[in-house]
A and B are shown apart, each in its own frame.
Chain A
Amino acid sequence: EVQLVESGGGLVQPGGSLRLSCAVSGFTFSSYWMHWVRQVPGKGLVWVSRINNDGITTTYADSVKGRFTISRDNTKNTLYLQMNSLRAEDRAVYYCARDGGSGSFDSWGQGTLVTVSS
């Protein structure tokens, strides 16, 4: 069974940093691109970032470019999102998602809530 489990969310002050993790199982992690998608509670989904299967290439939404860094450790079957210079508008539930190979997100974690407040 494919499983993705996020962790690392919590309360952080504006300007602070947080690192999210997404531990996966049930599939060959190193064969898949991976994404982070966020959702303000009660609002819509927003694509955040993507990393290719070997971790060499990454892309970001303009709203997080230069502040967030996506990475992965294929030996630990874990995806990461390092979030720096956090802003109030970064408050959201962050989901990791597997790329289905056709530009779709075919498996999702349960999400982890990030709150940015003083």
Chain B
Amino acid sequence: QSALTQPASVSGSPGQSITISCTGTSSDVGGYIYVSWYQQHPGKAPKLMIYDVTRRPSGISNRFSGSKSGNTASLTISGLQAGDEADYYCSSYTGSSTWVFGGGTKLTVL
């Protein structure tokens, strides 16, 4: 199973919005609602930010939102804050109880 495709890096200034894309195929992202997004700060474990394409776990800011169109899912972060600077990973169910992650995107807050 090939990793989902994410941009290596994105950047934005405080207060701005950024979007991270996650491209797969009809066998993963395009075929299921089970797309999720994770935030990982250096040296820390990943943290679930979005699940089922658009849903936020309890305690996650509404500045984080998810969407999907065809084989591409997206994570949008609005009102960028310094603490949002981290690596972000998408994940998708691929059928037959297997999963795949994206390669990760480094977000820099300028």
Contacts and interface: CB of A to CB of B under 8 A. Distances in A.
Interface of A: 35, 37, 43-47, 50, 57, 59, 61-62, 95, 97, 100, 102-111
A44 B45 contact: no
Please classify the interface of chain B as helix (H, G, I), strand (E, B), loop, or mixed, using the class held by over half of its residues: strand
Contacts of A103: 32, 34, 36, 51-52, 92-93, 99
B64 interface: no
B89 A45 contact: yes
A102 B101 contact: no
Given A62-B1, A104-B36, A46 B101 contact: yes
B89 A102 contact: no
A105 B98 contact: no
B63 interface: no
A105 B91 contact: yes
Given A44-B89, A44-B101, A95-B46, A102 B1 contact: no
Contacts of A107: 48
